[in-house]
Chains A and B, each alone.
Chain A
Amino acid sequence: MEIGNQAVSRRTLLRGASILGMGAGFTGLLAACGIAAEKNDSSSDTARSGGTLTLAIDGTSAVNDPAFYTTLGDWMVVDCVCRGLTFISFETNEPTADLAESWTVSDDQLVYTFTLRQGVTFHDGTAFTSADVLASLNRQFNDADKTLPKGSSRPLKGIGDNLAALTAPDAATVVFKLKKPDRTLLGRLSDIGGRIISKAALEKYGAGIGKNLVGTGPFKFASATAGQNVTLEAFDAFRLGKPPIDRLVLQQVTDPSTIVSSLLSGDISATQFTPYSALEQLKGDTSVTVYDTPKSFDAFIMMDVRRIPELAVRKAINLAIDRQALITQAFFGAAVLPDGYTIPPNQDAYDASLADLSKTDVAEAKRLIQEAGATGRTVRLMAASDSWHPKAAQLITQNLTDIGLKVETDSVDPAAYFNRLFDAGDKFHDLMIWERNGYYPDADDMIGSLAKPSGVYGEFMSGFNTLDGSAAYADMLFEAKNIADATARKARYSEIQRAWADKYMTLSMLVCASNPVVSGTDVKDMNWKALGNHRCYVENASV
């Protein structure tokens, strides 16, 4: 090989490369030791209009559709582009009016009449009317809707199952007629599936709407590149006024150390995907703000009863988990014990008297395993390979080994993991480490989804629907969510949770954890409580 006029032998090249490699390694070491950690700390203390807010997200497939789940980041884009009839800010847990100006509910709780806000325009300039509501929500309720992409997830399809009719008597009114009362309807309409898309855009783009989303939200779609970022621009005609920032960029950043260094350098304005291991370091840095994000998501193991049929073995697994170790070593303190079982402490139905459902008792767990003749049995554990999941998998592996089980683990790419949860034939489907975020903060969205004998958890993941008596839980959960009195409702949810855990134990709660939101100190008025629930309401934020 010749470089310039000099002949370079392979050996010289190799030697040079190795010196260069070691040099690079040494530089990395210096950087890691903090020698190269100086940063330009020129952040301003005063908020200003204009500028770009950059949020780090878990990923983007450049498809942003309320009926089609791809990544949390892609649904954060939907939050910014589209809004629904109702809105829950997460600063309070109550649904408030958004595109619906007001509503009335019939005495029998079966008819909801929404009066729509007038003068609202979509990003494409069309006026918001009841036709847009029907076109958008029918995508959720009707699986034959032609604008649905293949594989759509339709988070509000459950409402559709209980819907007798959805009508629009005039351009400013929408009426829901339900088969059975549903007191969670207003809250659920605030969820991602309830977002309203321009009917004209739906007709124009059809199933491709995810690449051309048009809503009434504070930001309009500008560009998106799969695997990189989505850029949104402030919408001049947003009904609450143009956002202070000009541009919002949702940037895919998956590497934990890059998230930290980008936060410190100011390349990222904020994120809720902060690595737990970096929280202490970030708390000590004056250039960022670490928010005390509520411990609002459930981290759990779902057990497939088709693979682990003995209740005693499932209970033993639940008793074996060292949750304090998980809090310390997997979440670095950003989690609490699941004393309310699946209801996190920030929700109304939280009942700390359920703490015994998630206690640790290794001796009892061993006894149960021996009694069931399961000592030495191999169980397979699957976990996503990002964030807290692999650490939790390793801690749990040891816990289960300690009670006499043999554990095989598979750490799975997050993109592939979600699909594998649906595959009951997957080799590692015995135990699955997963999480549920409260996208609308209500017990119905936690225990109401987790204990339902259908859908992702009760059917595909755990096979709960195959157990005797499981069908009754659908009715019990439906009844519980319609109890008007908050105290009685909480008591009923507690009864259901206790009965579900005692009789079936398909879900072992690990912890209730937070999605730790961190921002640059120059970021003001960001709704960090919503961001801590993966909801992106940054219309008031400034940088």
Chain B
Amino acid sequence: MSESTTTSGLRGALAARRLGRGPLAAGSWIVVALFVLVAIAGPLLVTADPTRNTADALLPLGASGHLLGTDDLGRDELARMVHGARPLLLVAFLSTGLAALLGVGIGMIAGYAGGKVEWVLMRLMDLALAFPSMLLIILIVSAWSPGVGSLVTGIGTALAPGLARLARALAAREAGRDYVLAARLGGTRAPRILVQEVLPNMAGPMLAQVVMTLSIAAGFAAGLSYLGLGIQPPTPDWGYMVQAGQEFLYRAPRLVVLPAAATLIFVVACNFVGDDLRDALDPKGTR
């Protein structure tokens, strides 16, 4: 293990101890963890079928056997809320993962290689950034059938350039450092230097940015589902549930408020978690 990796490991341990110190940060971590837990384990606990239509439409909150009532097609709202967490979180995490993979990869190569490679790659990223993200995503999603795959591809691709810019700057800074020079002189090949030396030393700020990107991805996923470009009904999905519930805004506002509030809380919590991560990894920064 190189010295630089050891240093970054130490920095990571220190950062971990600084995480979640304020009530807001701690609360946000708990909220995100809870959402993930609900997405993973919730469907095991709530056994009602979220897609089964019944004649008991629009039962109110607290109706017998339906804690959150039923929707316009008589489906258990609690089951739909719990099952609806999964597609949103799945799309948010996978598309963020894809954006990170693409963005960090491209940015690192550009920053480390410099010269013409950097110029070409970053101009491509500039071109992608010049396109409004939502439009780019809709273009990509519309070209495919709607579903998780197209959403992840669309959102991941649209969010990658932002991460690539940061990754390029960080990689360029690290590329001029002595430990990288030493690795080069030692005959280590570029891919290994990037993965084993450069990446760990830029991981902190990148991680904070990736978590911030998660909240943006969740927002896009919900927005696209709201527009009918996401997960298709009858599969429950918070974005689509808001759209479908709109016409019952006066009669059963919970059909809009519950999925909208859940999406809002998750997005805001992700932002605070990203903030907290950044602060923990960069203690000299402004809190």
Contact = CB atoms under 8 A, between A and B. Distances in A.
A13 to B, nearest CB: 10
B52 A398 contact: yes
A275 interface: yes
Contacts of B228: 385, 411-413
A427 B232 CA distance: 15
A256 B247 contact: yes
A391 B73 contact: yes
Given A257-B249, A275-B247, A409-B233, A32 B257 contact: yes
A394 B261 contact: no
Most chain B CB within 10 A, of A29, A32, A393, A397, is at: A32
Interface stretch (A14-22, A47-55, A214-222): A14-22
Given A11-B275, A25-B261, A411-B233, A390 B52 contact: no
Contact of B53 (A260, A398, A408): A398
B250 A391 contact: no
Interface string A30-70: 01111001000000000000000000000000000000000
Contacts of A25: 257, 260-261, 264
B9 interface: no
B118 interface: no
A25 B262 CA distance: 12
Interface string B95-131: 0000000000000000000000000000000000000
A278 interface: yes
Contact of A427 (B55, B73, B145, B275): B145
Query: Contact residue range for chain A?
Result: 35 or more
B179 interface: no
A281 B53 contact: no
Nearest to A408: B232
A329 B233 contact: no
A227 interface: no
A408 B147 CA distance: 11
Interface string A274-295: 0101100100000000000000
A104 interface: no
Nearest to A383: B233
B253 A329 contact: no
Interface in A139-183: none
B205 interface: no
B73 A329 contact: yes
B163 interface: no
Query: Contact residue range for chain B?
Result: 20 to 34
A395 interface: yes
Interface in B209-233: 228, 232-233
Given A14-B268, A393-B233, A427-B145, A329 B246 contact: no
A32 B250 CA distance: 4
A413 B232 CA distance: 13
Interface of A: prevailing SS: helix
A225 interface: no
A6 to B, nearest CB: 15
A411 B275 contact: no
A310 B20 CA distance: 62
A218 B179 CA distance: 84
Contact of B246 (A11, A33, A256): A256
Nearest to A32: B253
A267 interface: no
B233 A277 contact: no
B12 interface: no
Contacts of A410: 145-146, 232
A376 interface: no
Contacts of A37: 250
Given A255-B246, A394-B233, A14 B271 contact: yes
B272 interface: yes
A278 B234 CA distance: 22
A278 B55 CA distance: 18
A328 interface: yes
Contacts of A257: 246-247, 249-250
Contacts of B145: 410, 427
Nearest to B257: A29
Contacts of A427: 145
Contacts of A22: 264
A37 B250 CA distance: 9
Interface in B227-252: 228, 232-234, 244, 246-251
B4 interface: no
Interface string A2-28: 000000011100110010011001001
A325 interface: yes
Interface of B: 24, 51-53, 55, 57, 72-74, 145-146, 228, 232-234, 244, 246-251, 253, 256-257, 260-261, 264, 268, 271-272, 275, 286-287
26 contacts: A11-B287, A14-B275, A18-B264, A21-B268, A22-B264, A25-B261, A32-B250, A32-B257, A33-B253, A257-B247, A257-B249, A277-B247, A325-B53, A325-B55, A328-B55, A329-B57, A329-B73, A329-B74, A390-B233, A394-B51, A395-B53, A398-B51, A398-B53, A409-B233, A410-B232, A427-B145
List the 3 closest A-B pairs by CB distance, nearest first. A32-B253, A256-B247, A385-B228
Given A14-B272, A275-B247, 19 more contacts: A11-B275, A18-B264, A18-B268, A21-B268, A22-B264, A28-B253, A29-B253, A255-B246, A256-B247, A257-B249, A257-B250, A260-B247, A278-B250, A281-B251, A385-B228, A390-B233, A390-B244, A393-B233, A409-B232
